[in-house]
Amino acid sequence: MSKKILLLTLETFCATGGIQKMGRILAYGLQQLGAKHKWEAELYSLCDRKTDLMPEYLAEEKFKAFRKNRLKFMWESIKAGKKADLVILSHINLSVLGWAIYLLNPNCQIWLIAHGIEVWRPLRLWKKSVWKICSKVICVSRYTQEKVIALHQVAPEQCTVVNNAVDPFITFPEHFHKPGYLLERYELNTDQKIVFTLARISVTEQYKGYDQVIKALGNLGQNNIQYVLAGPYDEAEKLRLTQLASQYGLGNNFILPGYIKAEELADHFLLADLFVLPSKKEGFGIVFIEAMAFGLPIICGNADGSVDAVKNQEMGTAIDPDDIGALEQAILRNLGRTLSIGARKSIQQQCLKYFSQQHYLQTLERLIKNEACN
């Protein structure tokens, strides 16, 4: 029997954050499963424009973009939901739509995806009532699942952990050579150790822990370690970080390149010897598995969903994000190991063992077919 599946998102193709990446990967997965089982799967996005679509992820006829027209988005979503067998809400802010569809089509399954901080706090009534109608709450990490159960009294059997996956359109490296043009651009050489962080850089994003990395590297005082902190920044935060790096004696060892173009992102992972993001508020942290897919060892925080990305330290080092000493030791320990091509390939293979698109599809398929998810 054919299933009608409707995925509702706030934005999917017009932004580059972790939630948006997860939405693209989910849309692609639903399209693949739809072709396999003759399911009808569509994506409706509130903020996207039609021209934002990345057609490698989703066929044009399966995508409806509403250009921030809330009323039209709600109306069309409810109409489609009345005929759907499964509606997936990609964010808690879509709870009202879930309720409207449930009231008009009580036989429809409603799933909610719980990412991170948006469900790690008390919710207003119109949001928290969604737990009553969800047949499944898809949590991107065990940490988020624990928060949802403890804070919102959601039944454990209602929750399922589905970790995020590596983007299916990443081209994986085979040789792992450091790109010459980036060495030249940043005035680096192959004898230097390069620590890399990729994050949004803003006063509201300081929980990412990049301050801690600057302080730790400054305390280590090793001139052969370069810190590349990449990502879109606001000018006030750029000035503050430049002053902080100077205060801790990094000087020319601190590089703040700003936004990295999509076509250069892979090369920045290849440039580095270690990826460090000791964050406190990651729902999962897609950037960790992206880094590992390019063979980078990882240091993350142990106070959020990041531990799922490193499989409880099976694949990386999780430290107390407030412990500068622990961060210093973890950096020294990782940089002290030889990061050979073989070592990078091993990290990559281990990452794909757990976070490949194939594994993600199998999990999604079992859930949709109401089979037990191991």
Nearest to 260 by CA among 230, 219, 236: 230
188 near 220, Cβ under 8 Å? no
Residue 348 and residue 363 in one domain = no
Residue 253 and residue 242 in one domain = yes
Q: Is residue 240 part of a domain?
A: yes
pLDDT for the residue 373: 43
pLDDT for the residue 1: 53
Residue 343 and residue 363 in one domain = no
Bridge-based pairing of strands 63-65 and 40-45 is parallel
Residue 74 and residue 199 in one domain = no
Q: Is residue 322 part of a domain?
A: yes
178-183: long-range pairs with CB below 8 Å, 24+: 178/270, 178/271, 179/267, 179/270, 179/271, 181/267, 182/264, 182/267, 182/268, 182/271, 183/271
Q: CB neighbours (10 Å) of residue 203? A: 9
Q: Where are the alpha helices (DSSP H) in the chain?
A: 18-37, 70-81, 95-104, 125-128, 142-152, 180-185, 210-220, 235-247, 262-271, 286-293, 306-309, 324-335, 341-355, 357-368
Chain position carrying tokens 């706030």 = 10
Q: Is residue 374 part of a domain?
A: no
Q: Is residue 327 part of a domain?
A: yes
Q: CB neighbours (10 Å) of residue 365? A: 16
Please state the separation of Cα 315 from the chain's center in Å.
17
The structure's pTM equals 0.94
pLDDT for the residue 2: 72
Q: DSSP label at 185?
A: H
Tens digits of residue pLDDT in 193-244:
999 999 999 999 999 999 999 999 999 999 899 999 999 999 999 999 999 9
Bridge partners of residue 43, in order along the sequence: 7, 63
Residue 32 and residue 137 in one domain = yes
CATH of residue 332's domain is: 3.40.50.2000
Tens digits of residue pLDDT in 141-179:
999 999 999 999 999 999 999 999 999 999 888 889 999
Residue 147 and residue 283 in one domain = no
Query: Which residues span the domain enclosing 12?
Result: 4-165+356-368
Residue 11 and residue 159 in one domain = yes
Six-digit token string for 275:
């990826």
Residue 206 and residue 159 in one domain = no
Q: Is residue 171 part of a domain?
A: no
Q: Is residue 170 part of a domain?
A: no
The rounded distance, in Å, linking the Cα atoms of 246 and 253 is 10
Residue 87 and residue 196 in one domain = no
Count of structural domains, the chain? 2
Q: Is residue 373 part of a domain?
A: no
Nearest to 172 by CA among 356, 371, 365, 373: 356
Nearest to 185 by CA among 257, 254, 275: 257
Chain position carrying tokens 């719980």 = 114
Residue 111 and residue 40 in one domain = yes
Residue 196 and residue 211 in one domain = yes
Q: Is residue 293 part of a domain?
A: yes
pLDDT for the residue 371: 53
Q: Where are the alpha helices (DSSP H) in 209-336?
A: 210-220, 235-247, 262-271, 286-293, 306-309, 324-335
Residue 116 and residue 137 in one domain = yes
Sites in the chain below the pLDDT cut of 50: 372-374
Bridge partners of residue 255, in order along the sequence: 228
